[in-house]
Structures are given as structure tokens and as C-alpha cells.
Amino acid sequence: MAGERCTVDGTVNSLIFQNAENGYTVLRLDTTDGTQITVVGCIPCAAPGEELIVTGEWKRHPVHGAQIQAETVERYMPRTEAAILSYLSSGVVKGVGPATAQLLVSRFGEETLDVLELSPERLTALKGITDRKAREIAASFRYQAGMRRLMEFLARNDLPTALALKLYKRFGDGASEAVRRDPYLLCDEFFGVSFAAADAIALSGGAAPDSAARVEAAVLFTLMHNMGNGHVFLPREKLAAAAAAMLDLPAETAEDAIAALEERGRLVEEPVAHVRACYTARMYETETDVSRRLLALAAAAAERAPNVPAILEEIQRRQGIVYAEEQRRAVALAAESGVFLLTGGP
């Protein structure tokens, strides 16, 4: 069984462990075929009563035995009164415990969750629920509902559920809408989704092949991809050509995107060795900060240099080695300077 891929669906029976910071969850799932299994993975805000469709891989834990490592999770809110009561009684919604859960379900039945999301003002008709408490309950449930929609979107597009918390931390309740409106934001290095994956989502959603958002995303992705190869910038002409080739569009289209990104401060152009160097704004800031720090170190008075030749002679004698003249000069220069940079070969 271990190593086999699988898809199972069922209802959350109980939570064994949940980390609110990173969403890591261990839960027991009552499957539709009548068995109970353990599921582990990033499933933020999971609660008893929720219906899940989990896709992942069987693993064997040395202590806890067989469990599914979830990769994508489709979540559906409970629909029956019993499941809704179990869900709300778990404490997943702030301000709702077992007693309040019973009160809500007794009053609203299977419409309870719709009331929480769409008509929270109706809660004040119940004894003990003030305007303030109703707002608190509604805000907490909006978070649950927003997270659920976000995870549904991610699962539908074969994206890891771990993205949900990152997106929610950046965009809050509007995370799901933000991603639907602009899938290319997923290419941000913070989220780590490939351009191809984000592009497929955008195009399937009706984005035009030459849309400004698509071309700008390709330009930024090209810069970020080349950072992985050690390039903090690209010459403007090369950047435009590479981004345009990736999309099979004219280079002029990419040039327009570069200009628009520069105008909005997301891209910076700077002359470097007779080249129009293009940086992402973050990389330009990092590069200039490094330059400032190096200049400050270089301007600082170095400590009195020790007797480098004598020290080198002693090291050579003890180690039984002989330094080349260039190596000796490098050591002497390092000892005499406020900062010393040693680079690789050509």
C-alpha cells in the first residue's frame, strides 16, 4: 500500500492535531466505503463534519501506521443538521461552542451555515447573541468559507493546498477572488507556482493570449527564472526577446510590458557597462543595498595589518605547502583592506 497514489472521500470524524500557523493537520476521516483512515497534510481550519475529497499518497508511519499524505483537498461544508452541529460544536468558528451550535441548528436547521455567511444579522434574534457576538461569529465563518473556496480553487487546478495559507495571509478574505481575477500573481516568488501553471489557469478562464497581465507576468517570470541561474538583471533587449519568445508574441509587446512594469515600480532599468540592465524592484533594492554596504566597508580604515609574510612562512612550514605568488598577494591585500571580494574564475 505504501507509495500508492489514491483519492478518497468522506467526512471528518475528528482532529488529532492541527497547527494554526502553517495549517498542518492530522485527522480521522470516515470514508464513504465505511472505513476510517488517517489523513495528514496542510488542511487549514479543517473541522469535524466537513466533507473532503483527498488526493495523495499512502505512507506508513513507524508508530501510527498507514496514513494518506494529502496533496490536494477538495472541501465541502456539512449539509445535514447532524453534520452541521458536529462542525460548529468543534469550536472551529470563533464564538460558537456546543451550546451555541445547538441553539443555531435548532433555529435554522440545514440553512445554518447560509445564515452565518449571508445573513449574520439574523443571529441576534437568538437569546444570548448580541450584535457584537454576531459580528464576531460572522467574521470567523467568513474566514472558514474563504479558505474553503480557496482550497477548492487550488484543488481544481492541481495546485498544492499549502498555498492556501500563504494566499490568505497576503490577501485576506479576498484571496480567492484575487487569484481568480489574476492567476499570474501565483508566479510571485513567495508562492512559487510556475508560469506555465498560472498561464493555463488564466487562459482557461478566458484571458487573451496578448493580454497585458500575461505579457507582464512573462517578463517578471523571465527575470526570476534567470535569478536562479545567478543573473540579478537581464539586458532589456534580451529580456524582451526571451519573454516574447516564451509567449510566441512580437518583441514589441514585451517592450510595452517592460515599460508598464517600470512605470509602476515593479521593474527597474539601470545602465550597467553600456547595457540597459533590467531588474525586479526587489533585486534592484538588494543589489544597491549590497553596494552601499561594500562601499562603507571599503571606506572604513582597516586594522593594522599583521606581518603577513612572516605568518605565511610559518603556515607553509607547518603545513608543508608553498603558496603561489598570486595567493600571497591576495592574502596580503585581504589583511590590509576593509573588505576583500574573491570571485570565481572566468
- CB contact at 8 A, 110 and 84: yes
The pLDDT value recorded for residue 287 is 92
224-280 pLDDT, tens digit per residue, is 999 988 899 999 999 999 999 999 999 999 999 999 999 999 999 999 989 999 999
**For residue range 26-67, what is the model confidence (pLDDT) as tens digits?**
999 999 999 999 999 999 888 898 899 999 999 998 888 899
> Which helix or strand (DSSP H or E) is residue 232 part of?
none
Please report the pLDDT score of residue 340 as a whole number: 82
pLDDT of residue 239: 97
pLDDT greater than 80 at residue 304: no
Structural class in CATH, domain 5-154: mainly beta
Q: How does pLDDT run across 159-211, given as a tens digit for each residue?
A: 888 888 899 889 988 888 899 999 999 998 888 899 999 999 999 999 999 99
276 contacts 239 by C-beta, under 8 angstroms: no
Task: Look at the domain 203-283 and name its fold.
Answer: Arc Repressor Mutant, subunit A (1.10.10)
Residue 345 to residues 15, 94, 236, 322, 328, Cα–Cα distance (Å)? 56, 60, 26, 21, 18
How would you classify the pairing of strands 65-76 and 36-42?
parallel
Tell me which of 322 and 151 has the higher pLDDT: 322
- pLDDT, residue 181, reads 92
Share the mean pLDDT of the chain.
90
Q: What are the domain boundaries of the chain? A: 5-154, 203-283, 304-346
- The pTM (predicted TM-score) of the whole model is 0.72
**What's the rounded Cα separation, in Å, for the pair 184 and 197?**
9
Can you give the pLDDT at residue 278?
97
- Kindly report, residue by residue over 10-20, the tens digit of the pLDDT: 999 999 999 98
